[in-house]
Structure 1
Amino acid sequence: MANVNPVGWFDINVANLDRAKKFYETVFNVKLTDAPIKWGKQSFFPFSPESQDISGALVEKADFVPSSNNTIVYFETEEITAVEQKVEAAGGKVIQPKMNIGEFGFISIFIDTEGNVVGLHSRN
């Protein structure tokens, strides 16, 4: 059995793509790229097809209501506390401040502008 990370992509379902895109670009200091319209309303997080790093997209669906019952996606960050401050300033809400998870580092959980529960992870 190979010891390879099986996660390859994630979708975060949103009610308002423009609002969600602004939130994530502000919090993580990244530029999201709109997908071709034939794929529906979605914007991709930065990625390179040649890289083994995972990436994902914000996906607006008319018949989907974002909620806290979604699977939690954890974003890697160098310093959780600084990102928590950006979350609050960008209109999100931290619901689990930085918490020690032992040898695996630290996590934090927040609610984005669309009502999705999303996590942060850092080694320090």
Structure 2
Amino acid sequence: MKPNPVVWFEIYVSDMARAKAFYEAVFQTKLEPLPAPSGGANGMQMLVFPNDMNTNGATGTLVKMDGVSPGGGGTMVYFGCEDCAVEQARVEKAGGKVHQGKFPIGEYGHCAIILDTEGNMIGMHSMK
């Protein structure tokens, strides 16, 4: 297996407009439409996070798809931040909830755990 093996993620949503507004507000970024892959599920909608295929790290999309529901359990995605307290401060105003505020993880920096508007639990990580 290669180092940093995750290369893509998908966060499932039921209300694309609401989820888009949440992620753009919290992370101060712009999500762009991404065409569904050929052979993809009917009605599949995708918005992609900013990406640069020439750097380390993974990018991914918000996905609205028939038969797939958002919510907690299983896999959790962590978003890199300069200082996760900054993004955490935007969560509730954007319609989400702070599950666990910024906390230290020793020499590996800090994390915060939040719930988005769709009920997905995501993490934020920073060295500050």
Give the TM-score of the pair, scaled to structure 2. 0.88
Structure 2 unaligned spans of 5+: none
Superimposed CA distance per residue, residues 27-64 of structure 1 (whole angstroms, 9 cap, x where no aligned partner): 11111111125652010001123333310000001212
Give the equivalent residue in structure 1 for 2:28.
29
Structure 1 unaligned spans of 5+: none
Give the equivalent residue in structure 2 for 1:14.
13
**1:63 aligns to what SS in structure 2?**
coil
Give the equivalent residue in structure 2 for 1:72.
76
Structure ranking higher in helix proportion: 1
Superimposed CA distance per residue, residues 84-103 of structure 1 (whole angstroms, 9 cap, x where no aligned partner): 11111100000011111101
Equivalent residues in 2 for 1:57-68, closer than 5 Å: 57-68=61-72
Measured in 2, the distance between the counterparts of 1:56 and 1:116 equals 15
Equivalent residues in 2 for 1:1-124, closer than 5 Å: 4-36=3-35, 40-124=44-128
CA-based RMSD of the aligned residues comes to 1.6
Moved more, 34-43 or 57-66: 34-43
